[in-house]
Structure 1
C-alpha cells in the first residue's frame, strides 16, 4: 500500500537523495553551477526520521538574474531547492529586511536551529529587552484569551524594547512611510 505523506527515512537515505538531487541539478544546469549546498537540519546533522531536505544551487551570473525555488513531495519525503544566480544571492545576503532580525538573532548574532525553535532559543539569548520573556512565554503557552493581559504584557515589552534599543544605539522608526 502506498502512503501519501512523510515516512520514517534514515539519514543515509536522506543523504543519498541529496546526492541524487545534486546530480539532477548538474544535468539541468551543467557548467552554470557555482555551488550546491545543503542547509537546515540535514546540514547540521540534526535531521530526524521525518525531516525534509533543503538545498540551494548557486548559478553563475548571466544576463538574466535567477531566483526561484523548487518545492515538492515525492511520496515519503519533501524537498526544497532554491536556485539563485550569484548576483541575487549576494544581494539577498547584503539586505536586512523586516523579519531578518527575528529569524537570525541579529543583535545576539544567533542563527536559530529551526523556525519552530526561534522562541525557546530566544529565551536563552544573553541580551533581551525587559518584558520579552513574558511575551514569549505567553505565546508559547497559548494563553491568549485574556485581552487585558495581552495588552499589559505587550505594553511592558514595548517599554522594555524602547529602553533596550536606546541602550544599544538602535533607532526605532515610527514613520508611516520610511523614505
Structure 2
C-alpha cells in the first residue's frame, strides 16, 4: 500500500544523501551547493515528514522542482540558480514569516564554497523599512479585505464561511507579528502557537487565536465580535508602531 509510512530520521538522511549524489552525478560541475531544508534540517521531523532539498546550480535559466513518492516516503527537490535564490532571500512579502525559515536553517550536504552561510547572511541583512512596508501591505491587502467580508456576512450571510474567515484573520495577524519581530515560523501547523509566544501583541489576538485553535467556531455572533475587537485593537497597535493605512481618493501612482 502507498504510504506515507514510518521512516526514521536516520533513514530519511540516507535517502537525502542518495538524492544529492544523484544530482551531483547528473549535473556535475554545474552544482554549486546542495542542502536539506524544512523539518529534517531543523531536526524536528516526524516519522511521516517529507524530505526537502535545495540544489543550487551555477547556470540556470529557470527554476524547477520535482516532487514524487517512492511509496513509503515523499521528497521535494528544488533547483534554483544562485542569483535567483539570493534575490528571493531578500524579498519580503506578506507571508515572509512562513516562507523564509528555509534560508536560516538549511543543512548543507554539499557546499564547498559555504554558499548557504552567505545565503543566511543575505537574508538577515534586510532593512527594517522593508518589513514595515510589508506590514502596511498586509493591513490593506489582507486584513482590510477580511473585515469587509466579515461585515458583509454579518449583514447578509451566509455564516458558513465565518470559521474559515476567522482562521484567515488569525493567520494574517500572526504574519504581521512575525514581520514586526523579524521572526520566522517553523511550519504552518505552528504559526498561531509560535505567534502567541511573541511579545508586544495587539489586544484581542490571543483570544482570536484561542478561538481558532479550540475549533469552537459554531457561534456566528461570537466569531464576529472577537474578530471586530481584534481589528480595533490591531488598528491601535499599528498606529502606535507607525504602520499606517494610507487613505486616498485617487490612484496612488
Fold-level similarity (TM above 0.5): yes
Aligned to 1:29: 27
By relative contact order (CA 8 Å, sep 6+), the higher-ranking structure is 2
Q: Which protein is richer in helix relative to its size? A: 2
Please report how far the alpha carbon of residue 133 of structure 1 lies from its aligned counterpart in structure 2 after TM superposition.
Answer: 0.9
Q: Distance between the aligned counterparts of 1:49 and 1:94, measured in 2? A: 32
Q: Gapped runs of 5+ residues in structure 2?
A: 101-177
Alignment counterpart, residue 207 of structure 2, candidates 134, 154, 163: 134
**Which of 170, 194, 198 does residue 125 from structure 1 map onto?**
198
1:103–1:118 CA contact under 8 A, matched in 2: no
In the alignment of these two chains, the number of paired residues is 175
Q: Does the 8 A contact of 1:68 with 1:83 survive in 2?
A: yes
Instruction: Please say if 1:159 is aligned against 2:232.
Output: yes
Q: Residues 1-179 of structure 1: matches in 2 within 5 Å?
A: 3-62=1-60, 64=61, 66-101=62-97, 105-173=178-246
Q: After superposition, give the CA deviation of every residue in 1:43-102 in whole Å (9 maximum; x if it has no partner).
A: 11122211111111112245x2x2222111111001111111122212211212232246
CA contact (8 A) 1:9 1:50 kept: yes
Kindly report structure 1 stretches of 4+ aligned residues shifted beyond 4 Å: 101-104, 173-179
After superposition, the CA RMSD in angstroms is 2.1
Change (3 A) 1:160 1:102: farther
| Cα displacement (A) at 1:122 | 1.1
Residue 111 of structure 1 deviates from its aligned partner by: 2.1
Q: Structure 1 unaligned runs (5+)?
A: none
Q: Deviations over 1:132-162 (max 9, x none)?
A: 1111111111122222111111111111111
Note if contact 2:36-2:54 (Cα within 8 Å) is conserved in structure 1: yes
- With normalisation by structure 2, the TM-score equals 0.63
Counterpart secondary structure, 2:181:
coil
Q: Distance in 2 between matches of 1:55 and 1:131?
A: 39
Secondary structure, in 3 states, of the residue corresponding to 1:160? helix
